Structure 1
Amino acid sequence: MNDIGKQAFSSLATLIACQGVNQVAIVCAGQAHSTRAAASQLCRQLSRCQHHSLMVDMGSEVTSDANTCLSLDDISSHTLIAEDQVFDQLSLALEGGDRLNAQSVAQALLRWQQCYRCVVFSCDYYAGADAISAQVGCRHVVLMVAAGQTTDSELQAFSLEMSHYGLTVLAVVMDNRFMPRLGQSLASSIMARRHRLPGWCDRLANWLSRTAYCNGEWR
């Protein structure tokens, strides 16, 4: 996560602490992206606000293993939590045709909140059936959008979904990792026309592709 992302999640953690929000679901607008890194970053920033937090990872990267919780309806949702000094984690992988429901999420949150100031769900794609249940249970949502990839229609569909369930969108955070860099784009354009620009075009293209100022890394 770049410095801009860290700053965004630092501000979000402060907002959550000030408003007394104790559960939040992090989702993304596209099916190809993961929210795990964002959820981890938020939990790290919450720890700086003296908020002991739990991250519940129910994203596509979760695999069933000995440390994976398969149900929120029993004590396994407590006993399989991996504890850490910064924030605790629980991987949630549902079996077969099992589906998460909002009531189970709400009940699990009541149990977890006896130990944690904030519970953060990493849900990946917002429109998945399990992700919707997590969002309805949490009532508070953070949307991750991919710069240069998330479309207007995806944002409109997300907005309608949130309105339908009456959910509160705390923040929209932009992930610019997939955004084409200006310098790299200019370098590619120059190299495509190198036969018209003999001699110095290689040096110029190399400078454009490497200079921090043209690639969003200037400080």
Structure 2
Amino acid sequence: MNQGAPNRVVAAQLNIPRGTVGWWRSEDRKVRGEAYEQPTDCPQCTGREFDDVAYAYLLGLYLGDGHIISKRSQHHLSIFCNATQIGLISMAEEAMRKVMPLPTVTRRHKPGCVEVKSYTKHWCCMFPQHGPGKKHERKIALESWQQAIVDAHPWEFVRGLVHSDGCRITNWTIRLVGGERKRYGYPRYFFTNVSSDIRDLYTDTLDKLGVEWTHCTRHGNPYNISVARKASVALMDAHVGPKY
């Protein structure tokens, strides 16, 4: 029982309530005069290897629709997903578990969305961009170790950003062909984020991948990044694809 296994694992193996295991451990610590420390598999604190591919994707999700709560008695990473996009919900949960398997991961259903949550204070170690206030109100820059992961897995990072704050849509236009009006559809990708730092991380990565993009200013706000050229859309389709 003192080998570091979570209470839920020990309880399942012994077929007893989780609270009983917690009480046993609490009494054992009192006898040995030890203070309680939450077990962790945080890569930054333990130095263990972790899934870089999953992290690159999760980093994109976090910078888009994620946030971290870090209070005295409440610590968790949350990723908000459209309730209809069950594939995205599963991928967000899977990425959390691959980066840090030990913390509990749950889904909280809200009107129109699902909040995927992983409970540990150590997400602050994995996402040093966490801080007070909104992301667009503070500087967002990657640490050198994060940039190395993005450089190694740029498509996963782009996919995470698009899956959080982006979309794939089909635009329509009317053209005259042989005197006849015909309707044509063409796909494009949009990424929208108020933070100029996060937009720069997205476009800098697209540049390295050879994806052409443009600013799409609406109502005077340059918050939208558009990928519309056929070859670039084909690259995005091959590596990102629509959310589902």
TM-score class normalised by the smaller sequence: under 0.3
TM-score, length of structure 1 as denominator length: 0.26
Q: Which structure has the greater CA radius of gyration?
A: 2
Ranked by relative contact order (alpha carbons within 8 Å, sequence separation 6 or more), the top structure is 1
Which has the larger share of strand?
A: 2
Q: When the two structures are superposed, what TM-score results if normalisation uses the length of structure 2?
A: 0.24
